[in-house]
């Protein structure tokens, strides 16, 4: 199941820093070739039965059914409303129903006219890209997204190879998913799709071979049904838990996973200041993106004495010159009115500002925790911060990077800063293998040490200062000249991957 090479823009862009680092460190030519393309690109189709739906008609169309009496569905409870405002009609809704139909249309108690669309099987495109396994099983998330495609998964799978190597966990890189808008599927359909994915891909997945995790559009509950599909019927079912990570802690997930990425960003920032005999106490910070990564990073920075001056999400940006009350903002976001998307702009104890003004806020630290490609050349020129910590993947563009470098704005790149998630996924896998359960304190202690050790090595490579420190050793990793942090991180990844090929040789 291998599709032709369709590399286009994302993958080519993602490989830019790979090529730069490979040239700088004179990566072994065969290793370079091995890493330039994935080991394997699986492309396949998934078919799933869709449930019946009621599709709302527009006012003009509905006029033709003005005389339709209201149908009643007493058993139609907890109605699932999808992204296009259609309603999922489960078969049990028809129990005791009193239905009046005309040409397949009916009126519900909300007064609206709906067209009944009978369920039918539907086909979806799916992929799993396995980039490299020199250091261990392929590892990477599963994304359910309407714009999912092979090019994106190739880029993300390669990124996982670098990230697992920098994090120094014994995994390779993989990524995959399905071209689907999860907001347009019922819960039952989504679960069926997830299970079908595992059914089709089972022969090339597994706790010792390729280990998925949540990504955009999937979550712990999807991981749970995928685990069931994978392990049901297996003779040693309990030994298969490590097939997937990002699970609920009640079924083998790791304590500390939810906050790990945000926390990891803060460990790196803490170390950035510790090196200068300074601390986060009193530092002003701004955060773009206030979801999982942004909220935990902000909460932790606040606890360490930092002051949040501005924050933004998809709804807009807010600012307070004296500092935003982080605990109150978190409470506000967690208790937002149901049925409405939470956004920081509705928090009235700070004033709204434009995105342009957000970038110009004078502060010590910017934490990115939204989307990629936000720090363009123009944004990098406008920034008034001293440190950028990339919680989000690929926040800064190559042009943005060179402006940051030129202006002396320090950068903790994504593959170093946001590796907390994948490191904790490794801890989850280890706990599953050994049938152990670690406390949150234990997870955080290990995470802090791992992140700080690798961050220090990357810093030494960037400055070309080989040394053995208290928790790190960069003596065999520097390349004889200084470079930027992103390239240095890639050098570390490639050195660690290359060691496997050089020491083990190439099988024939």
Residues contributing to the site for ligand NAD (CB under 6 A): 261, 288-294, 312-314, 369-371, 391-393, 418, 421
**What is the smallest separation between the CB atom of 235 and ligand NAD, expressed in angstroms?**
33
Do residues 318 and 324 lie in contact, with contact meaning Cβ atoms separated by under 8 Å? yes
Exactly one of 175, 247, 283, 452 is catalytic; which is it?
Answer: 175
Among 275, 301, 312, 315, CA closest to 389: 301
- Using CA atoms, how far apart are residues 496 and 349, in angstroms rounded to an integer? 48
Classify residue 186 by burial, with Cβ atoms within 10 Å: 0-12, 13-18, 19+: buried
Nearer to ligand NAD, 171 or 290 (CB): 290
- Using CA atoms, how far apart are residues 459 and 482, in angstroms rounded to an integer? 10
**What is the smallest separation between the CB atom of 356 and ligand NAD, expressed in angstroms?**
13
Q: Which long-range contacts (CB under 8 A, 24 or more apart) does 191-194 make?
A: 191/222, 191/225, 192/48, 192/49, 193/46, 193/48, 193/124, 193/144, 194/218, 194/222, 194/225, 194/226, 194/229
Nearer to ligand NAD, 197 or 317 (CB): 317
Instruction: Please give the radius of gyration of the chain, using alpha carbons only, rounded to the nearest integer.
Output: 25
Nearer to ligand NAD, 54 or 212 (CB): 212
Nearer to ligand NAD, 175 or 196 (CB): 175
Nearer to ligand NAD, 182 or 240 (CB): 182
- Using CA atoms, how far apart are residues 211 and 140, in angstroms rounded to an integer? 7
Residue 145 zone, left/alpha/beta (φ > 0; ψ -120 to 50; rest): beta
Tell me if residue 175 is catalytic: yes
**What is the smallest separation between the CB atom of 330 and ligand NAD, expressed in angstroms?**
12
Tokens found for residue 421: 């998630």
**What is the smallest separation between the CB atom of 205 and ligand NAD, expressed in angstroms?**
21
**What is the smallest separation between the CB atom of 373 and ligand NAD, expressed in angstroms?**
10
* Residues acting as catalytic residues: 175
């Amino acid at each position: 199941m291998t599709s032709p090479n369709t590399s286009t823009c994302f993958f080519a862009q993602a490989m830019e820093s790979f090529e730069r680092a490979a040239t700088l460190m004179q990566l072994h030519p065969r290793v370079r070739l091995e890493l330039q393309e994935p080991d394997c690109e699986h492309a396949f189709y998934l078919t799933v039965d869709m449930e019946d739906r009621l599709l709302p008609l527009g006012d003009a169309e509905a006029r033709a059914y003005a005389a339709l009496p209201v149908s009643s569905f007493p058993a139609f409870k907890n109605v699932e409303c999808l992204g296009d405002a259609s309603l999922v009609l489960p078969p049990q809704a028809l129990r005791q129903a009193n239905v009046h139909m005309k040409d397949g249309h009916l009126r519900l108690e909300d007064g609206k006219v709906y067209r009944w669309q009978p369920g039918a099987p539907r086909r979806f495109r799916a992929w799993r890209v396995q980039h490299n396994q020199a250091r261990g099983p392929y590892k990477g998330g599963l994304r359910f997204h309407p714009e999912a495609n092979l090019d994106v998964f190739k880029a993300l799978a390669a990124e996982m190879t670098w990230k697992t190597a920098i994090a120094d966990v014994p995994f390779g890189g993989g990524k995959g998913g399905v071209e689907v808008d999860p907001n347009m599927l019922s819960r039952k359909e989504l679960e069926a799709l997830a299970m079908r994915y595992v059914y089709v891909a089972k022969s090339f997945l597994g706790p010792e071979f390729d280990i998925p995790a949540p990504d955009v559009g999937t979550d712990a509950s999807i991981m749970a049904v995928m685990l069931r599909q994978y392990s049901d019927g297996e003779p040693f079912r309990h030994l298969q838990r490590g097939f997937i990570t990002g699970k609920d802690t009640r079924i083998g997930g790791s304590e500390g996973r939810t906050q790990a990425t945000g926390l990891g960003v803060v460990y790196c920032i803490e170390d950035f200041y510790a090196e200068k005999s300074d601390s986060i106490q009193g530092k002003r910070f701004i955060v773009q993106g206030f979801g999982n990564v942004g909220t935990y990073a902000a909460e932790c920075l606040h606890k360490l004495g930092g002051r949040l001056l501005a924050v933004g999400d998809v709804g807009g940006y807010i600012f307070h010159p004296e500092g935003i009350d982080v605990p109150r903002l978190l409470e506000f976001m967690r208790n937002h009115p149901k049925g409405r998307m939470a956004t920081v702009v509705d928090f009235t104890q700070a004033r709204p500002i434009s995105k342009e003004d957000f970038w110009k806020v004078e502060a010590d630290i910017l934490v990115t925790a939204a989307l990629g490609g936000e720090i363009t050349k123009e944004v990098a020129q406008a920034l008034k911060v001293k440190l950028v910590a990339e919680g989000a993947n690929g926040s800064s563009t190559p042009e943005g990077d060179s402006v940051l470098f030129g202006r002396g704005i320090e950068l903790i790149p994504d593959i170093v800063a946001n590796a907390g998630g994948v490191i904790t996924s490794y801890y989850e896998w280890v706990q599953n293998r050994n049938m152990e359960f670690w406390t949150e304190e234990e997870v955080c202690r290990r995470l802090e040490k791992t992140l700080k050790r690798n961050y220090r090595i990357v810093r030494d490579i960037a400055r070309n200062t080989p040394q053995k420190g208290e928790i790190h050793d960069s003596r065999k990793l520097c390349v004889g000249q200084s470079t930027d942090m992103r390239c240095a991180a890639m050098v570390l990844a490639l050195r660690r991957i290359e060691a496997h090929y050089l020491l083990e040789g190439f099988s024939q």
